[in-house]
Amino acid sequence: MEPALPDPVDYAVPGFVVLVLAEMLWAWAKDRRRYCPRDTLTSLGLGLGSTVAGALSAGAVFAIATWVHGFRLLDIPYAWWAFVLCFVLDDLAYYWFHRSAHRVRWFWASHVIHHSSQHYNLSTALRQTWTGFISLGFIWRLPLFLIGFPPAMVFFVAALNLVYQFWIHTEAVGRMLRWFEAVMNTPSHHRVHHAVNARYLDRNYAGVFIVWDKLFGTFEGERDDDRPRYGIVHQLGSFHLFWAAFHEWIGIARDVRAAPGWRAKLGYLWRPPGWSHDGSRDTSETIRAKWEARGR
């Protein structure tokens, strides 16, 4: 008998609203440039759209998860230790999902929405994708079902992971206790992730535990002499809701159509964002190389 697990996000939403309001008051007192009404409206609109898109695809994702679970290696019970283990392994799966979302343009086309604001505040946390199902973001969790974690348990801990990641999208919190910064993802670590500074590009993919970045060589600490600048390399310069949601998909379609030959066409799908068949554009690597050549 499977227990009926609640959706933690439903319970967290009122808290999200109160904390966004509190952060706005902080911005009002400290620096009024840290919020912009149109940016907030776009972020929250994208958040609502993401919830609707998620609800529409939830049935299909759950059906796939249940089907994969049918081939499970172990029968993992609904025990407290299983929830803890599931949470940790789900966070590891999240790290690889997130890393691929920045390194493969097909996945980036969906994830870029979350990075498209030039602001870094709690409303940015809610700026979420509408096309996660199309970009196959759920495949990274399939190994968990194959191991034997029940789908309901995995989706429960995944929601907890999502709730944790809300509060780290802020400039209102500086650095935290040393032990906490060493183990957990924090506002400081995640500011680095959202920054477009050459030093910070494609760093700190962690969801909850920053140890994954330290383990896999993608960690970068926030520096006082290199203040993070937020957004994407090619800033949108627009608050248009649908443009924010679909601009990278449109970019991919244009590039694939114009590319000479299948090798180049496929390159625009699976190569990193910024890759081009003639080398005329910049990727994270070339941006960092130019920055280093300039003497940093």
Partner 1 sequence: MNWLMLGGSAAAILALSGAAWWLRLGRDVKIGSVEEAADAVEHSLPGFVTGGAVVGADGLAALAVDKRGERVAVVKRHGAQLAVREVGWKQIAATADGIVVDTGEKRFGGRIAVAGVDQLDMRRLAPQSMKA
Q: Phi-psi region for residue 221, left (φ > 0), alpha (ψ -120 to 50) or beta?
A: beta
3-state helix, strand, coil in the chain (%, to 5): 60, 0, 35
Asked if residue 286 binds partner 1 (CB under 8 A), the reply is yes
Asked if residue 239 binds partner 1 (CB under 8 A), the reply is yes
What would the x/- binding string for partner 1 be over residues 160 to 179, using CB under 8 A? --------------------
CA–CA dist 250, 101 (Å, integer): 17
Q: How many residues touch partner 1 (CB under 8 A)?
A: 50
Asked if residue 70 binds partner 1 (CB under 8 A), the reply is no
Burial class (CB in 10 A: 0-12, 13-18, 19+), 31: exposed
Rule CB under 8 A: choose which of 137, 231, 267, 273 binds partner 1.
Answer: 231
Of 37, 203, 42, which is closest to residue 113 (Cα–Cα)? 42
Asked if residue 24 binds partner 1 (CB under 8 A), the reply is yes
Q: Give the chain's length.
A: 296
Asked if residue 236 binds partner 1 (CB under 8 A), the reply is yes
Under rule CB under 8 A, which residues in 198-227 are in contact with partner 1? 198
118 or 165, CB closer to partner 1?
Answer: 118
Angle, CA of 63, 68 and 72, to the nearest 5°: 135
Asked if residue 197 binds partner 1 (CB under 8 A), the reply is yes
Under rule CB under 8 A, which residues in 30-49 are in contact with partner 1? 32-41, 44-45, 47-48
Compute the least distance from the CB of residue 255 to partner 1, in Å: 16
The residue type at 29: A
Q: Which helix (H) or strand (E) holds 166?
A: helix 151-166
1 or 280, CB closer to partner 1?
Answer: 280
The strand ranges marked E within the chain are none
Burial class (CB in 10 A: 0-12, 13-18, 19+), 28: exposed
Q: Which helix (H) or strand (E) holds 179?
A: helix 178-183
Asked if residue 27 binds partner 1 (CB under 8 A), the reply is yes
Asked if residue 247 binds partner 1 (CB under 8 A), the reply is yes
Asked if residue 59 binds partner 1 (CB under 8 A), the reply is no
Asked if residue 52 binds partner 1 (CB under 8 A), the reply is yes
Asked if residue 5 binds partner 1 (CB under 8 A), the reply is no
Sign, CA torsion 218/115/254/274: negative
CA–CA dist 138, 118 (Å, integer): 27
Asked if residue 132 binds partner 1 (CB under 8 A), the reply is no
Per CB under 8 A, the segment of 151-159, 180-188, 208-216, 234-242 that binds partner 1 is 234-242
Residues making contact with partner 1 (CB under 8 A): 10, 13, 17, 20-21, 24-25, 27-28, 32-41, 44-45, 47-48, 51-52, 55, 118-119, 123, 196-198, 229, 231, 233, 235-240, 243, 247, 282, 286-287, 290-291, 293-294
